[in-house]
A = this chain, B = another copy of it.
Amino acid sequence: MFEDAEKGTSLSRAEYKAAVPALRAELLNVQFDLKNAGFPVIILVSGVDGAGKGDVVHHLTEWLDPRGVETHAFWETSDEERERPEYWRFWRAMPPKGQIGILFGSWYTNPIILRVRRTIDTGVLDRRLDHITAFERMLTDDGALLIKLWFHMSKEAQYQRLRQLEKDRHTRGKVTPTDWKHHKMYDRFLRISEHAIRRTDAAHAPWTLIEAVDANYREIETGRVVLKALQERLQRPPTKATAPAERIPAIQRNAVLDAIDLSPLAPPQTLKQTLRRHQGKLSRLAWKARRKKVSVVGVFEGWDAAGKGGAIRRVTHAMDPRLFRVVPIAAPNDEERAQHYLWRFWRQLPRAGKMTLFDRSWYGRVLVERVEGFAQADEWQRAYQEINAFEEELTDHGIVLLKFWLHISKDEQLQRFEARKDVAYKRHKITDEDWRNREQWDAYELAVTEMVERTSTDYAPWTLVGGNDKRSARVQVVQTFTRALKKALG
């Protein structure tokens, strides 16, 4: 595969100088058009050490308008990064729509290096590469243009290049002992890289190999590859969102919800005692989680007036306010709208030993956004998969993830709506929107059923809570927290 990038292609200084002005003008033009095109551009810069990746990016950013480009290097992780799932640092670096993000290192570095060092075996490597494929698919499905560049040079050329960098006092600092260590492992590194490239080379996110020995050639070629990718993407007519016929889930649409027991679990006095006991436990467990650096993410979904707020309060009641945050999810702000819909949730993930409780969550994509038509059919349909992958990342990192659907009957909701009008401090809790949502009860029922069906995984199962009896609902929620934490804390 790499033979194509060992042909000795080069450009003279004159050819280089002749090519730059037109290339630059065209790059600036497409960048200008990009601003309003509504998608982000993510350029991954990978390849062998010493292939001049820094120089290439250097010139690329010089040619472009710096106001629309950001370069991110993934050097040492900070503790804030280590305390979150691996991809958190990449989500932080995601360019918003209309902008270009150049990522040095990217999500490929770690799996390849770990395999080169034999820290992981081929099976793990492949799983991680498949995860990458799904991740990239998610980005491009959302409209992102992904340009993956691999800069190649032969082992001999790498040796010459490293020596040359070391000789020049201007560039000496760039060569690290790691570079030489990698050089010794060149063959193994190349073999594994080739495997990674082949496995992740997809129509939606193709790799481009660039011959890196000649500086002039690699720079112009990079500019041209980026230009071409952008031009093609900008010329592609916006894909009309095809709204396929609503798929009817195979199951009875309300089988899941109908199965929820809405009756009280026990007499009020018993429930009161149980709740108190579990809150006591939760209080201790929350401090223990902090000491052991175990994070918790709680997701609260449910019908309007199902008691999400009350349930969250019973959980937080048991905990020191320094240990948790409640994040209410309403309409995204403009910074969030310029990103993938999961971005706003990634940025809210708790640090080690802390808890984030989402009052509504990423499931809005397959609930309100689906029902109200804010998301296209293809968008919410692929969201199930995206959400499962996201939640797997959380739990793989050791985060305790708890998801609650608070269920009440339609009659119960009506009674609560009416009651809210009368209680002074609840009067702000009932809005016209609540009444409008109620009219869509059947559509939501279908959406909820499908959501539970498609996103109940072994690592992140839904807890379906019967909410007609408030006490019972709260006991179930708090109990779920204590049991999960107890299990996680050993």
Contact = CB atoms under 8 A, between A and B. Distances in A.
B25 A425 contact: yes
Interface string A325-363: 110101001110000000000000001000000010000
Interface stretch (A157-165, A266-274, A314-322): A314-322
A71 B428 contact: no
Classify the secondary structure of A's interface with B: helix
A359 B67 contact: yes
B320 A174 contact: yes
Nearest to A322: B73
A102 B321 CA distance: 10
Interface centre among A80, A171, A320, A325 (most CB of B within 10 A): A320
A67 B428 contact: no
A38 interface: no
Interface centre among A29, A70, A173, A351 (most CB of B within 10 A): A173
A113 interface: no
A240 interface: no
Nearest to A336: B335
Contact of A322 (B21, B54, B62, B351): B54
Contacts of A326: 66-67, 69
Contacts of A70: 325
B428 A28 contact: yes
Given A80-B78, A280-B170, A334-B333, A325 B425 contact: no
Nearest to A72: B322
B67 A320 contact: no
A189 interface: no
Interface string A248-261: 00000000000000
A392 to B, nearest CB: 26
Interface stretch (A214-222, A231-239, A281-289): A281-289
A67 B326 CA distance: 7
A317 B62 CA distance: 7
Interface in A76-95: 78-80
Given A321-B71, A335-B333, A328 B287 contact: no
Pick the 6 closest A-B CB pairs, nearest first: A73-B322, A67-B328, A25-B425, A173-B287, A66-B326, A71-B321
Interface of A: 21, 24-25, 28-29, 32, 54, 57-58, 61-62, 65-67, 69-71, 73, 75, 78-80, 102, 104, 169-171, 173-174, 280, 283-284, 287-288, 291, 309, 312-313, 316-317, 320-322, 325-326, 328, 330, 333-335, 351, 359, 424-425, 428
